[in-house]
Structure 1
Amino acid sequence: MNELTLLSRLAVALAIGLLVGLERGWKTREVGDGQRAAGLRTFALSGLLGGVAGALSQITSSWVLAAALLGHAGTFAAFRLLEARDDRDVSATGTVAAILTFMLGAFAVLGEVRVAVAAAVAMTLLLALRDPLHRWLRGLRWEEIRAILVLLSMSFLLLPVLPNRTIDPWGAVNPAEIWFLAILIAAISFGGYVAIRLFGDRLGVLMAALAGGLASSTATTLTLSRFARSTPGLENTLSAGILLAGAVMAVRVCVIVGLLNQGLALELVLPLAAMLAVMGLGILVLLFSRRHTMSGNQAALATSNPLELATALKLSAFIAIVLLAAGAAKAYIGDSAVLAVAAVSGIADVDAVTISMARLGGQSIGSETALIAIAIAIAVNTLTKSVMAAFIGGRGVGVPVMVINLLALAAGTLLLLLLP
């Protein structure tokens, strides 16, 4: 390591200490000089000490770094103990933060600078958000803790051990992808639950629909429809949320096609814009209707179950069956089954058809066929969500969603037919 590199890394180590020290010093700014164990200067020196110890260990022995760490930790702990006796504060956060600041200073010299800086920023955020985190923890329910643990188990324990390859003869079903879809559906359900608790019924539903539509409008429709079944009186709000998720899906399709096939995107943009205009108008009517205002004061969403795990597993299993059927149809019928496959796949989602058609359109598949396949997938998916909303959410949600979706599909189809 040359001199310039060493100086720059030591500067990063000092900056890490200053960053943490700024937060620690601000928290204890009301305490007089000499009455606190550590502040801005002490943490800045801790980061620089770690960097210097790391540099010395490179030219001497790793024991130098170990001895410096033990000395730093012991000294800091001793002064923190004296401070705790005076103010009766038994928190170990300051001591842990000082040790971590020293270690990140050393890592900035010995390892990856960007990783050290990222870890320092994360530590500072955790320290600065103490009060909001404590309030959030006090407000947690057991159902929410259980939901978080289940999601983490699904994501980090089960997902890595599933085979990430297709297991059927037609190369359609990938267990890891299906399980990831189950995680996604469950996460959308949990996200909707959190959004409603944080922002209230009306804004929470819209926030959940907006975020959920980016991932899966089908799963979002399922979640909001279940809310409607358990809580009558908020049908217009939930209908608007379902339509918003569908509108986000249409925008997502246009963006995906635009990134992969600009020519195909130009043919899709006007029909999709017509759909979005009708959906947007329908959302505004639902949100500002008199019925919405009256019902919104009489009901609150029942959000006792933050994680619809059984529903997520059932929908994922259904999608796996649809993919298997689509793979078999394509294998036995050939390329002429592209439109049929698009229709069947659209029952679950439109992304697979959108990506494949955007890649193949104008090459192994004609542009007109690719365009029609994407349009069929969007239409089938929109109708499927309408039926799902009616079947699960009841007439109060099903009727407005069905009517507005049919009008949107009619507008998009009309433009698609009229355009050359």
Structure 2
Amino acid sequence: MPTYSQIVWSGAMAMLMGLLIGLERQHSQKADEPLFAGFRTFPVITLTGFLAGLLAKAGFIWVLPVAMAGVCAVAVAAYYVTAQGQHKGATTEFVAILAFVLGALTAFNFVIPAATFAVVTTLLLSIKAPLHRFAEKIQEEEIYAILKFGIVTVIVLPLLPNRTFGPFQVLNPRLIWLMVVLISAVSMVGYALMRFMGARHGIAVTGMLGGLASSTATTFGLSQKAREAEDSLAKFFALGIVIASTIMFLRMLILTFVVDPHLGRALVVPIMAPALAGVGIALYLWLKKPGTQSEAGLRVRNPMDLWTAIKFGLLFAVVLFVSRAAFQYFGSSGVYIAGALAGMTDVDAFTISAARLGQENVLAASTANASILLAGAMNTLVKGGIAAVLGGRALRRVIIPLFGILFFAALVSCIVVART
């Protein structure tokens, strides 16, 4: 049995949850609208649920369903009286039933989950106007895109086996499909940010977030959008791609540090060359702001191109297999081949593998770091090609010279490290 102090604490929390929800309902009430429950009634409802839960725990199990039925009956009656034939929402009445459930949960020691639900519920209630504006703006194709993303993420991904198959035990169906999900997510997030933050800020944030996960997937997603958008937006899309690529070099450095701090320290200076070049290019693109008509020119038709994402997933699987085969057959001398091939998709797995080989003294430190830099250089070259081919003529004109600078900086660092 709970102690007296525990009962008081849980009861106080139940009352505070009711006060929070009731305060929001009272505050959002219109002057000419009757209110079923407000700042005083909601704490009473949560306390009723709490007491009913306590009695149920004490052995009077029937009290809880009876009290629940009573609250539901009162809510239905209140809606019938206040609606009076008008088209009136039933939000407050449903929230009253939820408040009773939250109060009961606190009696069963689910205080933290109940408080979390209370805060989230209050938040949803308080942003009614923005939610309605969002619902009015959303288009049919955007709903379909959300459904497609839900299918590939929630339904397909968990069904795939999370183990390796095939020669060299390198093909993992879930990992391959995860790349499809990642590209789809970048495409969806980028689309949403561009719509609600504008092209310049939305694409920049997409580049930052996407670069933390996969700069290659981000390049794919942003290049698709660039082809569909106005030519005047090419610099914005180039900015997002450059930001993602710059973050990639920093991500490679962090991964190397995690696996082998000694190897990571040796990589700091060489990898700063392409990273600082990327920062400089990004600042140049950010400060060179086009006219206001560029922002108005944002017209992206397809929120998510699933087939392009699937093609990238298949390419990822092929390159993963070939790079592992190169290392398997050519040994340490093939690490550069493996790095170049791994750079065609994404560099994280190769960075970890090369750093681990360096840590185990299978590779010399200079060889391990040079192969990591080569993977980054090749990945930069491939992303430049992706943007040039998928992004259309306007993006191609902007991206080729900029990525030429990034590639040259990474390649020079690779050659210098390899010769030391």
TM-score by length of 1: 0.90
**Contact residue 36 and residue 93 of structure 2 kept, 8 A:** no
Residues 174 and 415 of structure 1: CA distance in aligned 2, closer, same or farther (over 3 Å): closer
What is the letter of the counterpart of residue 164 of structure 1? N
Stretch deviating more after TM superposition (195-204 or 36-45): 195-204
Distance (Å, rounded) in 2 between the aligned partners of 1:359 and 1:219: 25
- Counterpart in the other structure of 1:388: 386
- Counterpart in the other structure of 2:396: 398
1:277, CA displacement in angstroms? 2.2
- Counterpart in the other structure of 1:215: 213
Residues 229 and 72 of structure 1: CA distance in aligned 2, closer, same or farther (over 3 Å): closer
What is the letter of the counterpart of residue 325 of structure 1? V
* Secondary structure in structure 1 of the residue aligned to 2:189: helix
**Contact residue 373 and residue 413 of structure 2 kept, 8 A:** no
1:165-184 alignment, distance < 5 Å: 165-184=163-182
What is the letter of the counterpart of residue 277 of structure 1? L
1:11, CA displacement in angstroms? 2.3
- Counterpart in the other structure of 2:51: 52
- Counterpart in the other structure of 1:190: 188
1:401, CA displacement in angstroms? 2.5
- Counterpart in the other structure of 1:2: 2
**Contact residue 271 and residue 373 of structure 2 kept, 8 A:** no
Task: Check if 1:204 corresponds to 2:206.
Answer: no
- Counterpart in the other structure of 1:279: 278
- Counterpart in the other structure of 1:28: 29
Distance (Å, rounded) in 1 between the aligned partners of 2:204 and 2:394: 18
1:360, CA displacement in angstroms? 4.2
1:97, CA displacement in angstroms? 0.6
Distance (Å, rounded) in 1 between the aligned partners of 2:107 and 2:307: 49
**Contact residue 17 and residue 44 of structure 1 kept, 8 A:** yes
Distance (Å, rounded) in 1 between the aligned partners of 2:296 and 2:25: 45
* Secondary structure in structure 1 of the residue aligned to 2:40: helix
Stretch deviating more after TM superposition (44-53 or 295-304): 295-304
- Counterpart in the other structure of 1:72: 71
Residues 187 and 298 of structure 1: CA distance in aligned 2, closer, same or farther (over 3 Å): closer
Residues 375 and 298 of structure 1: CA distance in aligned 2, closer, same or farther (over 3 Å): closer
Residues 2 and 288 of structure 1: CA distance in aligned 2, closer, same or farther (over 3 Å): closer
- Counterpart in the other structure of 2:304: 307
1:179, CA displacement in angstroms? 1.1
Alpha-carbon displacement from aligned partner over 1:59-90 (angstroms, at most 9, x marks no partner): 1232211111111221233233322229x352
Percent identity (aligned): 36
**Contact residue 144 and residue 306 of structure 1 kept, 8 A:** yes
- Counterpart in the other structure of 1:19: 20
* Secondary structure in structure 1 of the residue aligned to 2:232: coil
Which of residues 324, 333, 339 in structure 1 aligns to 2:336?
339
1:315, CA displacement in angstroms? 0.5
1:414, CA displacement in angstroms? 4.6
Distance (Å, rounded) in 2 between the aligned partners of 1:47 and 1:96: 13
* Secondary structure in structure 1 of the residue aligned to 2:231: coil
1:252, CA displacement in angstroms? 2.1
Residues 325 and 340 of structure 1: CA distance in aligned 2, closer, same or farther (over 3 Å): same
* Unpaired runs of at least 5, structure 1: none
Task: Check if 1:241 corresponds to 2:240.
Answer: yes
1:294, CA displacement in angstroms? 5.6
What is the letter of the counterpart of residue 9 of structure 1? S
* Secondary structure in structure 1 of the residue aligned to 2:360: coil
1:334, CA displacement in angstroms? 3.9
1:358, CA displacement in angstroms? 3.6
Distance (Å, rounded) in 1 between the aligned partners of 2:256 and 2:231: 39
**Contact residue 52 and residue 64 of structure 2 kept, 8 A:** yes
What is the letter of the counterpart of residue 351 of structure 1? D
Stretch deviating more after TM superposition (410-419 or 126-135): 410-419
**Contact residue 345 and residue 377 of structure 1 kept, 8 A:** yes
1:335, CA displacement in angstroms? 4.7
Distance (Å, rounded) in 2 between the aligned partners of 1:107 and 1:305: 44
Alpha-carbon displacement from aligned partner over 1:89-135 (angstroms, at most 9, x marks no partner): 52111111111111111112215322222222221122112111111
* Secondary structure in structure 1 of the residue aligned to 2:226: helix
What is the letter of the counterpart of residue 68 of structure 1? A
Alpha-carbon displacement from aligned partner over 1:309-356 (angstroms, at most 9, x marks no partner): 111010111101111222333344445433322221111001111233
1:296, CA displacement in angstroms? 5.1
Stretch deviating more after TM superposition (156-165 or 363-372): 363-372
**Contact residue 53 and residue 68 of structure 1 kept, 8 A:** yes
What is the letter of the counterpart of residue 281 of structure 2? G
Distance (Å, rounded) in 1 between the aligned partners of 2:295 and 2:10: 61
* Secondary structure in structure 2 of the residue aligned to 1:60: coil
- Counterpart in the other structure of 1:368: 366
Distance (Å, rounded) in 1 between the aligned partners of 2:397 and 2:294: 22
1:297, CA displacement in angstroms? 4.2
Distance (Å, rounded) in 2 between the aligned partners of 1:335 and 1:115: 53
How many matched pairs?
Answer: 415
Residues 344 and 415 of structure 1: CA distance in aligned 2, closer, same or farther (over 3 Å): closer
What is the letter of the counterpart of residue 110 of structure 1? F
1:150, CA displacement in angstroms? 0.7
Distance (Å, rounded) in 2 between the aligned partners of 1:396 and 1:135: 33
- Counterpart in the other structure of 1:316: 313
